[in-house]
Structure 1
Amino acid sequence: MTKDHDEVRDLLAAWAFGALEPADEKKVPLHLAECEDCAAEAERLRETVRLLDGPQGPQGPQGPQGPQARPAAETLPLALRSRRATARVAAHAAPYAAAVAGLKALLPEAAGRWSTPVVHDWDVHATLAHLLAADEPLADRLGIDTRVRPPLDIDADTPWEDAWNRRTADVIAHEYGRTPEETVADWAAQADALLATPEAHDPELAAHAVTLMGMRLPVAEHFLVRAFETWVHTDDIGRAVGLSVPPPPEAHLWQLVRLAVRILGLSLGPTAPPVLFAVTGGDEWVLGSEDEPVRAELTLNPVDFCLLVGGRYAPDEVPRGTNGDEGAVRNVLERAASLAWL
């Protein structure tokens, strides 16, 4: 039962989005009939998907600059009701499939407002071009043809940050010579191609590690990175055009949180002052040295933590609960914010 329980819990997000593999379609309902905990979690996830597909209720967590940073609370009922079903993919790719579906639902609401400033010095059109470029390294590694020609021609020993900045600037410049609708079509086609790869459907194929954007991770986790960035930029665009974008479904959000915590722990290394880090509603981790007593405690909301790692909060602005050595806490917050390249 424990093995089945763990397996089914990992499948609940895909179940809620109708993205189960055929082999799992009988397993999940049978387990839900016997397990009250999983049934309750499944019901919460299904309700989240229902809300995503229908009229939105009150606005969710505040944006990184407080309530004044998000325009008057409009919602996305028409767009989200017409959102296409997410692709049938494995659990590791389900967050990306959902994020792509969410952005596809939002973009019709941005029509005619492509020049609206969004983030950095990008408008809506440039933000879509940025995502087209950002998906490109994983697409290229999985054998998908580059959508923007010519592809990046840069020395192999160029630091990845420099290579990435040059490529995204080149793609944005290229896309400004095309219509926003053409950019949207190419972004959507590339995203759909990623979700059609064998690696999006087979966890074993997605288990091999590759280095992209300076990070050596399993392909499965690179799909989570793509989900993370797609959601953050969807939220950017939503706020820019005055629409409230919901956070990822709970199970997907926790997949992003766990990945971000692991990357943050690796970035801090084994000698940083140890901090007990908790994400509300989830687990706790000791970040930093394991050879000395914990110096401080830090608690963040899961959405706020993801926005911090995504560069949408400054370290001194993110809402948090703390106790103990403020210097140790500040070290964790600053390191988390430094991970952002979005």
Structure 2
Amino acid sequence: MTDHDDVRDLLAAWAFGALEPAEERLVPPHLAECESCAAEAERLSATVRLLAGPPLDEPPSPLDTLLTGALRARPAPPRVARHAAPYAAAVAGLEALLPELAGRWSTPVVHDWDVHATVAHLLAADEHLALRLGIDARVPGARIDEDADWAEAWERRTAEVIGHEYGRTPEETVADWSAQAAALLGTPHARDPELAAGTTLLMGLRLPVTEHFLARAFEAWIHTDDIGRALGLAVPPPPEEHLGQLVRLAVRVLGTVLGAGAPPVLFAVRGGEEWVLGSQSDPVAAELTLDAVDFCLLIGGRHAPDTVPRDTTGDAAAVRNVLERAASLSWL
């Protein structure tokens, strides 16, 4: 890997103040010499400023309307490694949305959940990783049952937590979700990629802890977007580097689910990477291109296989198989 590649991989963490001292010394000299990295660094910094809200002496822009001032009173976020930076950003995004929720907690959002229940679901959703990393549950009854069907256990625990949280105020639910998220970001696993390289079984998937942090980021962003849509507020997508991490995780899981026997499809995200999904030994049967955000929304169950915007060539059945399997992965 070149110095350019090294620095480009560090830019998202640099924008969030999540670099190690040695990495901090590497980035600025490269930005002074590389126009493309400098432009990307400025774009990422602008996203971070958007999450943090405008300075007090500046009027809010239209994009700031959603996020105005929500993070000004918060302490500085913990330093995290690159694998946890997308989760830190997604948590910040939802926390920035909170001022818009006053008096609107009963607004229907997704499934049969209102805003209050959606935040309660996120409290339940992050709980399993928290337990794995030694963090006490915020709601009674938490458990890890290795022998249970994970989907049934997931739905049961979500129902338990939502039922519990309906007996409390939305503000109390938010406080517990926020505290649990902060505890996750404060673990050694959020700061040390080598420690987080160890695998653990969550949601039926044995993945490195690094990738479980990405899954938590994916879900937090999807549900923040759900809430924004329900309230008529535009939620920005993750920064490009974070979005790329989420896409690569989704592709790895989708490739595993499809297996080596599926007709091979050349899959690409528009303007980005490409992969062969399915058989690696047969000629490519079709090509499929999706926008990165649309692909994540498909994986998250927010786009239907028949209606997600895409470009395709070749075997329509092979493409449909990929789209349907992608949509079937949704647990959100």
TM-score range, shorter chain: over 0.9
Change (3 A) 1:276 1:123: same
Task: Give the counterpart letter for 2:158 in structure 1.
Answer: T
CA distance, structure 2, for counterparts of residue 47 and residue 147 of structure 1: 34
Change (3 A) 1:9 1:136: same
Q: Which consecutive unaligned segments of at least 5 residues does structure 1 have? A: 59-73
Aligned to 1:176: 166
Aligned to 1:124: 115
Task: Give the counterpart letter for 1:211 in structure 2.
Answer: L
| Preserved CA contact (<8 Å) 1:232 1:307 | yes
Q: Secondary structure at the residue paired with 2:40?
A: helix
The one of 137, 162, 166 aligned to 1:146: 137
Aligned to 2:57: none
| Preserved CA contact (<8 Å) 1:19 1:86 | no
1:56 Cα offset (Å): 5.5
Deviates more, 1:93-102 or 1:46-55: 46-55
1:83 Cα offset (Å): 7.7
| Preserved CA contact (<8 Å) 1:56 1:77 | no
Report Cα offsets for 1:3-57 as digits up to 9, x if no partner: 4333222210011122223332221112222333322321222233344444455
Whether 1:259 and 2:249 are equivalent positions in the alignment is yes
Task: Give the counterpart letter for 2:24 in structure 1.
Answer: E
| Preserved CA contact (<8 Å) 1:79 1:106 | no
Task: Give the counterpart letter for 1:202 in structure 2.
Answer: D
| Preserved CA contact (<8 Å) 1:83 1:102 | no
1:122 Cα offset (Å): 0.2
Change (3 A) 1:94 1:155: closer
The one of 155, 175, 181 aligned to 1:185: 175
Q: Secondary structure at the residue paired with 1:319?
A: coil
Q: Secondary structure at the residue paired with 1:134?
A: helix
Whether 1:210 and 2:200 are equivalent positions in the alignment is yes
Aligned to 2:288: 298
Change (3 A) 1:86 1:300: farther
CA distance, structure 2, for counterparts of residue 112 and residue 183 of structure 1: 15
Root-mean-square deviation (CA), in Å? 1.8
Aligned to 1:65: none
Aligned to 2:97: 106
- The alignment's TM-score, normalised by the length of structure 2, stands at 0.93
Q: Secondary structure at the residue paired with 1:147?
A: coil
| Preserved CA contact (<8 Å) 1:75 1:245 | no
CA distance, structure 2, for counterparts of residue 51 and residue 83 of structure 1: 15
| Preserved CA contact (<8 Å) 2:267 2:289 | yes
Task: Give the counterpart letter for 2:22 in structure 1.
Answer: A
CA distance, structure 2, for counterparts of residue 18 and residue 156 of structure 1: 37
CA distance, structure 2, for counterparts of residue 168 and residue 109 of structure 1: 24
Task: Give the counterpart letter for 2:217 in structure 1.
Answer: A
| Preserved CA contact (<8 Å) 1:86 1:98 | no
1:86 Cα offset (Å): 4.0
CA distance, structure 1, for counterparts of residue 127 and residue 88 of structure 2: 16
Tell me the matched-pair count. Answer: 325
Report Cα offsets for 1:240-283 as digits up to 9, x if no partner: 11211000011111110111111111110001011110101211
Task: Give the counterpart letter for 1:184 in structure 2.
Answer: V
| Preserved CA contact (<8 Å) 1:97 1:227 | yes
Q: Secondary structure at the residue paired with 1:190?
A: helix
Q: Which of structures 1 and 2 has the larger relative contact order (alpha carbons within 8 angstroms, sep 6+)?
A: 1
* 4+ runs deviating over 6 angstroms: none
1:203 Cα offset (Å): 0.6
CA distance, structure 1, for counterparts of residue 183 and residue 9 of structure 2: 24
The one of 136, 149, 153 aligned to 2:127: 136
Q: Secondary structure at the residue paired with 2:103?
A: coil
- The alignment's TM-score, normalised by the length of structure 1, stands at 0.90
| Preserved CA contact (<8 Å) 2:66 2:97 | yes
| Preserved CA contact (<8 Å) 1:265 1:288 | yes
Task: Give the counterpart letter for 1:222 in structure 2.
Answer: H
Q: Secondary structure at the residue paired with 1:298?
A: strand
Q: Secondary structure at the residue paired with 1:78?
A: coil
Whether 1:248 and 2:238 are equivalent positions in the alignment is yes
